[in-house]
Structure 1
Amino acid sequence: MRSGKVRAGTLLLAVFTLLALIGPWLAEPLIGAGPRTIDYDALGVAPGATGHPLGTTTSGEDVLAQLLVGARGSVLVGLVTGVVATGLAILVGLVSGFAGGRTDKILTLFTNVMLTLPGLPLILIIAGYLQEPGPLTIGLLLGLLGWSASARYLRAQTMSLRGRDFVAAMRMVGESRTRLVFAEILPHLTGLISALFLSGVIGGVLGEAALAFLGIVTPDTVSWGTMISEAQDQSALMRGMWWWFGPPGLCIALLGSAIALLNFGIDEIGNPRLRVRTTTRRRRVHTA
């Protein structure tokens, strides 16, 4: 890919994905402590202390160990949210936009109802009944309640594509409706679907951080959101313990930046107007 935005976003996303995969296994061998191991001789020490490169919490827990282990929980929630939300959006949006008639009215009504539901309060109520859900459950909840806006986008694009000449030609040769939707129309929506999936991922990461900040997680869960929540509970900002809440906040910001760069890059690749502007700009730079 020639787009620098795509390369930079892909590199950052690959780093965080690798961190989520191997981070929990690296914590103890590299640092000699797990995320909940307490060092009574180093309570709330700043970065640079012996054996604690990023310092410790007020309880003596190593911040770097929590950062490495917490990557898996945060990224897992984001991926589950993205997959569930995008899958439901594809199913509802494509079927609604292509079928039309009564099917479209019913699915559109359902989508509009989901759009009007207050997502965060509803998740708080459901999570209360589930008794401190884990990362997988939180990802499922966020995905099940976060697909409706994406479905509306896909419905609108599907309605535009179903009137194109190539779809009419396929109908004339006897193609089935299922094949028309998933083999002819769906490939034309891959750029939009990729952008919606990436948006769902960062939405899941931010949603998990918000829920962890409100205490809607299991007590033994370690994620970037729980790190920020615990830092808030222990007044880390007032104590000047920036190393406790700063690294997880920076990781969330970098992950969001990686996804934003990928989205911009996908837009440039998939949108002919943006592609022409980018090519023209490059030619001007080379000419100068």
Structure 2
Amino acid sequence: MEFTKKHWIVAGIACLILAGGSAGLVAHHQAQVKAEKTAQEAKRTYDKLVASAKKATEKAETFKAEEDVKTAQAAIEKLDKKDQKALSTRVERVRKNWVFFHQADKAVSAAEKAKTGQTIKTAQDAVNTLKDAMTKSKKAELQKRLDKVKADLKAKKAKEEAKAKTQAAQEQADSSAQPANNTQEAQAETPASGTSPENGQYSQAPATPSYTAPATGGGAVAPAQPSASTGNFAPNNGSSSNTSGGELTPPAAQSFTGWVRNKAGQIVWSQGGFGSLSEAARVAADWLNGNATSGGWSSGAY
């Protein structure tokens, strides 16, 4: 077959077409490879963002620093919406636990300052809200502080109760001693009853009656003298041994005795030779106040 000019033209056009098609195929392939490479790089970059957000969330959940919550939230915001939800929920739980912690810490500080039953109860309720496992260590620290406040308040109440009991015992002792002092004063001022001191009373000898010797001679009869045991007057039976020259011999000077009884009614101290009843009673009262070992003691004079 003989190639004419026309054949050569057609063959040239065909070669050009074939050459252009091959170049287009090469260009398309190269574009496709580049796109796949870009996609892979973008995926690797996004995967790093996801990993970073997960790591930040896990750090926040250690509950060591409140700033970790903000760091995790910022990392999560870089992710696609569909990947944010799960991590955001976890971080939000951490944030709420920090709120509970601050409330509890504030309540414990108030209890440490006031140290009252009400502030302690409020603080304990706040500490009890920390139920999440991540707050365990922080909760233990707060509880330790609150337990110390409870111990301090308990010690304070025990001290106040002991002081109140001591004061009550002292007031009771003073009250028991008061009647004894009143009895001493009454015994020092009460008129003589004529009974013996063994019955808790005292007696005073009657005044010596005045006597005027008779004007005429003869044996003079002495007036009746008080009996030492009864305090009554007894006749002298006509004896003149107490007279001299018709005059009555004056009786010996009167003396008084002070005494002190213990709670059982026993006389534990007595002393005579006082010139007045009030002096004897005063000395007896002084001895009682200086030596009585309990309430119920009494003193007097006769």
Per the normalisation by structure 1, the TM-score is 0.25
- State the structure with bigger RCO (CA 8 A, min sep 6), 1 or 2: 1
Bigger radius of gyration, 1 or 2? 2
